[in-house]
Structure 1
């Protein structure tokens, strides 16, 4: 394909084969594009797919969203819908601005269709994102905001950290993703444990209800790791149901290295979370487990290893109502968004 054979090699060549430089230059370009309405309209005519669905009390133009991590600080918000995405999730953002982990921290495994990252929630902070949204406006599709714990915040103060970000961004988010599953912030995954998660969700639910006043509270979704055992995941789901969580996002990146091509095993030894095609089977398994364990009571956004319409359809067949792309988009470009969205639109759901 044109993107794979021409565009991606050129991007890497001019960026010194550094994936993070490619990422940054892409965001700069799309950020500029976001301010050019005629260009956005032209792109939309090429890439948009009309396949509306209602979930979480929100109307989505199609079922394919941009996953958190691609545009942490909301720099290209109006470009993503023009590239065909039916919703956009920004972040993960934290209460405090932070640089993230030391570089290099992003690695592409092209033969494996995979990415390893240990970014560490590098972002400008919740207040900076709120200011950008206030100045530039929301995109014309549902906007999710992923919030996490600042690295400098002790685990026993995590609730206040999440609550601050929720308050700062409440006027702009159509839903919040509660990220307790990134492997790149020390101790974060401990928040998936029953007691810690119950405390966090109770306080965020209370805060969300207070902020909503007489309106419906903004949906809160929990993003889970693919590395949980069935027993641990079932316990987590019980907590989510008990505290009125609106849905689940399954899954985050994995610490497993299964599925990496033999020629890329050396790169695979890099620390961080693995995403992309090696996660395809496990993510769908987690979606199916969540759907069956909750008897379909919790809406699910399926994410992890989606590279075509068949993979996305597998997520929906397992119980997801929406899907998200990140690694597939980064590796194969906007044509993938169009193919996945139109593949789903052609199927009856």
Structure 2
């Protein structure tokens, strides 16, 4: 709430000042009134300016003042919760710019006004969808969402590596479950609009922007029954999503990455695709993607490519976090050795290599979304040139703040135009 001017000097203070410094009150009353008006006006104008500055995502204060202050005073998970809460209640800044046509792309037959997305893991429960779109992301992915509620791993489970601008997390699919998240999305989305959308209409309810929902399996679900958790997710969330993502690559759920083995993956993906086709046969077919790990051999990536093509999956996100710890990390050695997935710039090389390899073996048959260490415009373009149709980020968001999408879009636009793109 803005303060509407100063309340002025207390009467007894004014009287004391008048008695000790002036012969009469009449000669000072106009001055006092004028001063109060000036100070009040200046305060209102200053507060208005600062508020406007803060609420504009392009403000450098977010990266260089707000984020360092948050990092200095809050642990990573508390800061994460604060960010989601502020976006949920529309208390954060907004992207007040417009997307240049040079950024426009198409994926799954849908137009994106820009290819910058926020990865799953930030808005796990679908609380801040509108707030994230307000920041200028072209693609927002929520989740991971599991069929039954589960608390995830014990705390602490998120660690900053400030010298590496990186994060280690071992959240472990903490989720409120399908029922809770479906109700939340039904409450926040205009159901009338959803019901009246054409088959090609965006479930995000934003033109040029798409909404993805990332599906996980419960920790107690066996490998043999894993496909059932993903089928339940498709059944529950197909009406709300522009894309559904099968997450088989988080390193924080025991046995999950084993689902990437070809003999397991082929069957799992085929069953989920068949269920999607059955569910959506009378309506649109929501695109199905699979999210893979960066910690794969070339042969394993080749096997995944074959499973993707044979099963009818519509796209792949490359990649999740890595369990590897590069030798050149500079942060506290004790923090570096924390269990969990590493994200941020140290992940980029592995993620980019995996995407290039997958592109080679899929031959462009399905769209690829790049994810892993994307921090700068050059990172965005590196993934695009390697074959990505869009990109996602998360860790850069945690370090640079709410202006990350706008800044990347402006920088990518500038670079593309210098190359003669229009």
Q: How would you bin the TM-score normalised by the shorter chain?
A: over 0.9
Name the counterpart of 2:182. Answer: 130
Alignment of 1:47-196 (within 5 A): 51-137=103-189, 138-140=204-206, 141-196=209-264
Give 3-state SS (helix, strand or coil) of 1:122's partner.
coil
Alignment of 1:5-44 (within 5 A): 5-15=64-74, 18-33=75-90, 43-44=94-95
Name the counterpart of 2:19. Answer: none
Contact kept, 8 Å, 1:48 with 1:85, in 2: the verdict is no
Contact kept, 8 Å, 1:219 with 1:246, in 2: the verdict is yes
Name the counterpart of 2:7. Answer: none
Give 3-state SS (helix, strand or coil) of 2:240's partner.
coil
Q: 1:47–1:333: structure 2 CA closer, same or farther, 3 Å change rule?
A: farther
Give 3-state SS (helix, strand or coil) of 2:163's partner.
coil
Q: 1:259–1:331: structure 2 CA closer, same or farther, 3 Å change rule?
A: farther
Give 3-state SS (helix, strand or coil) of 2:129's partner.
coil
Give 3-state SS (helix, strand or coil) of 1:156's partner.
coil
Cα deviation digits, residues 79-124 of structure 1 (max 9, x gap): 1111110010000111111110000000011110110000000111
Structure 2, unaligned stretches of length 5 or more? 1-59, 190-203
Q: Distance in 1 between matches of 2:61 and 2:319?
A: 30
Name the counterpart of 1:208. Answer: 276
Cα deviation digits, residues 294-348 of structure 1 (max 9, x gap): 1111210000001110111000000101000100111111222112223333423
The structure 2 residue matched to 1:338, chosen from 399, 406, 417, is: 406
* CA RMSD after TM alignment: 1.8
Structure 1, unaligned stretches of length 5 or more? none
Name the counterpart of 1:239. Answer: 307
Cα deviation digits, residues 162-204 of structure 1 (max 9, x gap): 1111111111011111100000000000110112111111111
Q: Distance in 1 between matches of 2:404 and 2:205?
A: 21
Aligned length: 341
Q: 1:47–1:33: structure 2 CA closer, same or farther, 3 Å change rule?
A: farther
Q: Distance in 2 between matches of 1:66 and 1:320?
A: 15
Structure 1, 123-132 or 184-193: larger mean CA deviation:
123-132
Q: Distance in 2 between matches of 1:259 and 1:118?
A: 21
Q: Does 1:45 align with 2:96?
A: yes
Q: CA deviation at 1:150?
A: 0.4
Contact kept, 8 Å, 1:308 with 1:336, in 2: the verdict is no
Q: 1:99–1:73: structure 2 CA closer, same or farther, 3 Å change rule?
A: same
Pick the structure with greater CA Rg.
2
Structure 1, 170-179 or 2-11: larger mean CA deviation:
2-11
Q: CA deviation at 1:58?
A: 1.7
Q: TM-score, normalization: structure 1? A: 0.93
Contact kept, 8 Å, 2:95 with 2:403, in 1: the verdict is no
Q: TM-score, normalization: structure 2? A: 0.77
Q: Distance in 2 between matches of 1:3 and 1:239?
A: 43
The structure 1 residue matched to 2:337, chosen from 245, 258, 269, is: 269
Contact kept, 8 Å, 1:258 with 1:278, in 2: the verdict is yes
Name the counterpart of 1:307. Answer: 375
Q: CA deviation at 1:159?
A: 1.2
